[in-house]
Amino acid sequence: MPSPHSARTAFYLGIPSDKKTLAQIDKNETKLVLVDASEQHVVSLRRNYRNVPNVTIINKVVSDVSEACKFFEYSIPELSSIYSALDAKVVLPNLRVVSATERMSVAVHELINDFACGESFDLHINLPGQELRLLKALKDHGLLNNLASLSVVSCSKRVYSEGCLKEEVVDWLITNHFGIRGTKTVNQLLQLERVCFKFDEVSLQNSLLKKELSAEKEKSKKLSALNRELNRKLSNSASEYTDTCQIQNNINKTVKSSKLSLPDIVSKDSELKAAVESWLEGHFLHLIELDNASLADKANRELLVLLAATGYQFKDDAKNEERCVNLASRWGISDAHIKAMLMTGVYIRLARANALMGKVDETKSFFRRSLTDGIFGVENIEDWLTKRTKNQLIDIMDETSIRIFLTDE
């Protein structure tokens, strides 16, 4: 509220002329502007302020037909001539019913131009249900930023008291007034010096909480949808894993005696060495680059195309994965080796899914199997396991979370 030394203008809209109301109007204000106040209202108010120095009381009367039509022209020009042509006793009741809010908003505009001179002003209103329309009118006139304080006055049972703004009004103010200053918390909103709206903290808190709750509900819906999709994929992967356990046991018997040693590959083919290292490190998308026009002419094309298939598998590109698998089979890779490599991709999916659910032991187990159950003999497995785990989790969680899956505990 304005300080006792403030010269800020205060507008009272819709204040009735009873003595109890007048007796409680804030005496800190030094310039009051009344709208449509009766002469009795003005006299009583001046009497109430007779011992307060430097007080200016101005009454802007807009109730007569000529003034009312003048203000009415701002909103509905085509009707102004009709109202001005009618008898005052007939027009006035209709005019008050039809255009009270429009007249009041234009009156505020006129008053500010006449008395506030573009400076900050306080607004006290008793227009039930019209607060939001009045504030929107102020915004339309470019005057909202001049509004220093706002109070809603309740005069039910002839008792003057400050009321609370409705939540829709609070929401509108937050978006259109507070929002331009980037404020977010209740304390920030209530502590603004230039914009200290007079509504209670509980109303504001409830409004902000509802906004946050709505945002959280929307976020929860998205998370639920993602969780359902994850569970579906996990269920499918688990089912695939269960169905292939017996096959894998048979594969292991075949592969165990024929795993390719990485040192042997390094000594013969540098491109294949780099590709195998990418696979060991978990850079599966890099392997897609092996699928190129010159692939068929390379010495170890069957292994290169099989590695490319694991890249497409990780990318969920089933069409190209199948094409590369068929080429690997045609160029001499056994079904057992193909299935072993594709199973490592399943373990990768299971590891990532369990990591998202925070299941540390399961995550570690599946990452390890994704290395050991492939067709390549892996030396220094712990080093490769650390690299693969980091590279496979970096896109779904932060480094602090990843460390949990790298400890030996």
pLDDT digits (tens, 9 = 90+) for 71-91: 333 333 333 333 343 333 333
Report the pLDDT value the prediction gives residue 281, as an integer from 0 to 100: 92
Task: Name beta bridge partners: 376.
Answer: 260
Report the pLDDT value the prediction gives residue 34, as an integer from 0 to 100: 62
Which range has the top average pLDDT, 37-51, 96-110, 336-350? 336-350
More confident call, 292 vs 187: 292
Overall size of the chain counted in residues: 409
Report the pLDDT value the prediction gives residue 110, as an integer from 0 to 100: 59
pLDDT tens digits for range 344-386: 999 999 988 888 888 888 888 899 999 988 888 787 888 999 9
Please state the domain extents for the chain: 9-199, 244-404
**How far, in Å, CA of 364 to CA of 352, rounded?**
10
More confident call, 345 vs 28: 345
Per-residue pLDDT for 317 more than 80? yes
Report the pLDDT value the prediction gives residue 333, as an integer from 0 to 100: 87
Report the pLDDT value the prediction gives residue 191, as an integer from 0 to 100: 37
pLDDT tens digits for range 91-119: 323 233 234 455 555 555 655 565 555 66
Of the ranges 149-163, 285-299, 314-328, which one carries the lowest mean pLDDT score? Answer: 149-163
Mean pLDDT computed over 31-60 = 62
| Mean pLDDT across the chain | 65
Report the pLDDT value the prediction gives residue 397, as an integer from 0 to 100: 82
Of the chain, the percentage scoring pLDDT greater than 90 comes to 13
More confident call, 325 vs 210: 325
DSSP assignment, residue 34? E
Report the pLDDT value the prediction gives residue 279, as an integer from 0 to 100: 93
Report the pLDDT value the prediction gives residue 20, as an integer from 0 to 100: 46
Mean pLDDT computed over 50-59 = 61
More confident call, 227 vs 19: 227
Per-residue pLDDT for 305 more than 70? yes
Pairing of strands 161-163, 147-154: antiparallel
Per-residue confidence band for 10, with pLDDT thresholds at 50, 70 and 90: low
Q: Is residue 57 exposed (0-12), middle (13-18) or buried (19+ Cβ within 10 Å)?
A: middle
What backbone phi and psi angles, to 5 degrees, belong to 332? 115, 0
pTM: 0.40
Mean pLDDT computed over 308-314 = 94
Residue indicated by tokens 């009415």 = 72
Residue indicated by tokens 């200016």 = 56
More confident call, 96 vs 214: 214
H or E element in which residue 60 lies: strand 56-60
Report CA-CA distances (Å) from 20 to 17, 45, 122, 209, 230. 9, 11, 21, 37, 66
Topology of the domain comprising 9-199: Rossmann fold (3.40.50)
